[in-house]
Structure 1
Amino acid sequence: MRNMYSHFLVGVLLLLTFISCNNDTEKKEVPDVSNIEVNVEVRRLEQEIFALKSKDEIVKYLIENPEIEQKYFLQAGLYPSRTYLVDALWDFRQKVENDTLKLDADRIFGDFEKQKKEFEQAFKYIKYHFPDFVPPKIYTSVSGFANWGFGGDVIDFGDFIVIGLDYFEGETATYRVPEVPNYILKRYSPDYLVPFTIQILSNRFNKVNANDRTVLSHMIAWGKAYEFVDEVLPYVPDTIKVAYTEQQLVEVNYNEGYIWSHFVENELLYKSERMAVKRYVDDRPTTSEISGESPGRIGRWLGWRIVSSYMKANPEVTLPKLMADDNANKILRQSKYKPLSRK
């Protein structure tokens, strides 16, 4: 693998220029969605909660917002009644560190108008591909990193999605997400908020075969998720979509043939052991089995390459057809995937 990266260094500058001018996103035909109308409703729950000045006001708020109370605040099952929830929300509201998280969210995201426009554009593309799609309402929150039993980074409740702004406040925040390694923490920043949410939303459409636990099945499932994000956020850089640095993305593109050979020669595709999935698909700082320089989640990226090849080889396959197809082996077989091998 060291030799692989020595070969990479020879062509890195040329490839950086080539990729910046000729990436797949720019080549892909982007549909015109200007005539598609969507309504994006945004509610700033963190502002609503921090505006409540007493337990009585919290009770009134919960009564007036039963959907938020039942689906969001009580979804974890930690509070047996409204009384316990009111006490928890009041405690949450009183903590200085939570107030700091909210102030940071106000500073970093402002009126959230930038993100609202990004969601509006993404929802237009989704509706283009899936005409029956009803855009979910977007609720923002500050959860205190879910320490009070409600909230999280992104939770899809069906008719609404709750986004924990405190998770995505980035490097300028007073507090960062606790107990998260740096290779994951870098993705908890404002630039990732909308793409991460769209990736979560793709689960609604991404059919998988629960009985197929092979490495290949996991790779293709993630590849379909990345392809979904690519289709509905066509102007977002691939570095954000796959959460790789520009150098990492150039390296894996350059060494695609070598990486694919590693999977084939070690007969990884049809392994179903959990450890194999963990090594090649799950979040890790590196895929050390390939190289100390090879980034983690390499199976997800490779799955996207296979899915992209499948879509190019089968232009009659629409995004809905792709997302509804849970036959990972068929997608690989019909992808005609054969990456360039560099010596």
Structure 2
Amino acid sequence: MEKNFLLQIQQQMTTNKSTIILWVLVLLFIGCKQRDRFYISKFEHPVKVEIQRFDVDFIALDTSNTLASLKALEQKYPGFYSLFLRDVLLMQLTDSTNNAFQITNFLNDSVFRQVNQKVKDVFNNTKPIEQDLAEAFSYLHHYFPDKPLPDIYFFVSGFNHQFLVADTILGVGTDLYLGVDYPLYPDITYEYLIQNMRYEMLVPDLITTWLHQIFPFQGKDDVLSHMLYEGKILYLKETFLPDTPKNLLIGYEPTAIDWCKTHEKQIWASMLGNKHLFSTRQLLITQLIHPAPFTSPISSDSPGRLGVWIGWQIVKSYMQNNKNVGLSELMNDHNYQQMLEQSHYRP
């Protein structure tokens, strides 16, 4: 009797173990199926990224001899230094004495000394950022070998500048990614923008900025074209940053993603019913595409940039239903009305 009971338990445990293994295999299969089209497990020519810490060297300037320190900084960063002074600090390159005076005042200002120290603390370890950027740029180089890859620079500007883009230079103002709770942010910008001024958003924002640079907008200046253009950018980001949460790709809170999924059918119906898609009104394009506390033509309860989110869903539907289309073909296609038709998008 006892032997039979133990045998039954052993058989049940074996059955449970087999069931667990089966489910693990199913989940692994599903995960592979979701990634197998553009996902790359190992790159033939991986890209290495080494961030240029101009921000740290700028903060560390010897303000007792600023003019000489700036000359040394220029020698270390010859391609970036003049761009930084001209485009970020808005200084005249020929007026070195006055530039040194203003920079000394900035670096010795009690408020910005605290800000700059916070930058050093938050971005003390840039290895995770370099790894994420290396993966994204390895994807870019694999699928678009003719597109340039940028050199990455960090800088500080007293909250004055977020990005600096020129040729193969991509700079980012690290003082604008210190965290949603950073106490000075409410004094310089709107609350709805602060949610994305955090460490986790720096890589997605950098990738967005570079993709906009190398794939500039082309097409009709109407709502649909802007929606699907931004949708294509997000589709690339989703491919190039496969482990980044979807909400960070678009700059939403997780609850905003949930809201969009719940109301996707109503959002699309509103756009169709109000004949938004082929409108060329710049105000409407701005309301649907640009950052805002909510998307005013749709709902005051919505997140901003609903046009971008819907554009993303349309592009995903298009790529799902047109397996012969590669990433290069996608980015070279500017016939957005045809893309919508061939997407068979039906939320």
Instruction: State the TM bucket, normalised to the shorter chain.
Output: 0.7 to 0.9
Paired position in structure 1 for 2:72: 60
Paired position in structure 2 for 1:141: 155
Per-residue Cα deviation, 1:95-146 (whole angstroms, up to 9, x for no partner): 2222212211121121311211111111111112112344322111111112
Paired position in structure 1 for 2:191: 182
1:242/1:26 CA distance change after superposition, 3 Å: farther
Contact 2:222 2:277 (8 Å CA) reproduced? yes
Paired position in structure 1 for 2:108: 94
Per-residue Cα deviation, 1:19-42 (whole angstroms, up to 9, x for no partner): xx9x99982432223433212121
Structure 1 position 209 matched with structure 2 position 221: no
Paired position in structure 2 for 1:79: 92
Distance 1:213 1:25 in 2: 38
1:49/1:219 CA distance change after superposition, 3 Å: same
Equivalent of 1:116, from 97, 105, 130?
130
Equivalent of 1:228, from 217, 229, 236?
236
The 3-state SS of whatever aligns with 1:310 is helix
Distance 1:307 1:45 in 2: 38
Q: Percent identity between the aligned chains? A: 24
Paired position in structure 2 for 1:279: 287
TM-score norm. by structure 1 comes to: 0.84
Equivalent of 2:257, from 245, 249, 253?
249
Contact 1:207 1:324 (8 Å CA) reproduced? no
Question: 2:329 corresponds to which letter in structure 1?
Answer: K
Contact 2:222 2:280 (8 Å CA) reproduced? yes
Aligned residue runs from structure 1 range 124-203, under 5 A: 124-146=138-160, 152-176=161-185, 178-203=187-212
Contact 1:280 1:296 (8 Å CA) reproduced? yes
How many residue pairs get matched? 314
Please state how far the C-alpha of 1:63 moved relative to its aligned partner.
4.6
1:75/1:265 CA distance change after superposition, 3 Å: same
Please state how far the C-alpha of 1:300 moved relative to its aligned partner.
0.5
Paired position in structure 1 for 2:318: 310
Contact 2:147 2:214 (8 Å CA) reproduced? no
Distance 2:32 2:192 in 1: 25
Distance 2:31 2:159 in 1: 36
Distance 1:243 1:102 in 2: 25
Distance 1:290 1:133 in 2: 37
Contact 2:137 2:240 (8 Å CA) reproduced? yes
Aligned residue runs from structure 1 range 32-71, under 5 A: 32-53=41-62, 54-55=65-66, 56-71=68-83
1:290/1:173 CA distance change after superposition, 3 Å: closer
The 3-state SS of whatever aligns with 2:164 is strand
Structure 1 segments (4+ residues) deviating >4 Å: 23-26
Structure 1 position 321 matched with structure 2 position 326: no
Per-residue Cα deviation, 1:44-86 (whole angstroms, up to 9, x for no partner): 1121112221222213322553312322221365425241333
Structure ID, larger Rg = 2
Paired position in structure 2 for 1:259: 267
1:127/1:73 CA distance change after superposition, 3 Å: same
Q: Which has the higher helix share?
A: 2
The 3-state SS of whatever aligns with 2:242 is coil
- My pick for the range that moved more, 214-223 or 165-174, is 165-174
Distance 1:284 1:26 in 2: 36
Question: 2:152 corresponds to which letter in structure 1?
Answer: I
Question: 2:336 corresponds to which letter in structure 1?
Answer: A
Per-residue Cα deviation, 1:220-276 (whole angstroms, up to 9, x for no partner): 111111111111001111111122222221221122111111111111101111121
Distance 1:297 1:26 in 2: 30
Please state how far the C-alpha of 1:165 moved relative to its aligned partner.
0.8
Paired position in structure 2 for 1:14: none
Question: 1:183 corresponds to which letter in structure 2?
Answer: Y
Distance 2:187 2:155 in 1: 17
Q: Which runs of 5+ in 2 are unaligned?
A: 1-27
Please state how far the C-alpha of 1:312 moved relative to its aligned partner.
1.1
Distance 1:204 1:289 in 2: 29
1:80/1:140 CA distance change after superposition, 3 Å: closer
Contact 1:136 1:160 (8 Å CA) reproduced? yes
Contact 2:85 2:93 (8 Å CA) reproduced? no
Q: Which runs of 5+ in 1 are unaligned?
A: 1-20, 147-151
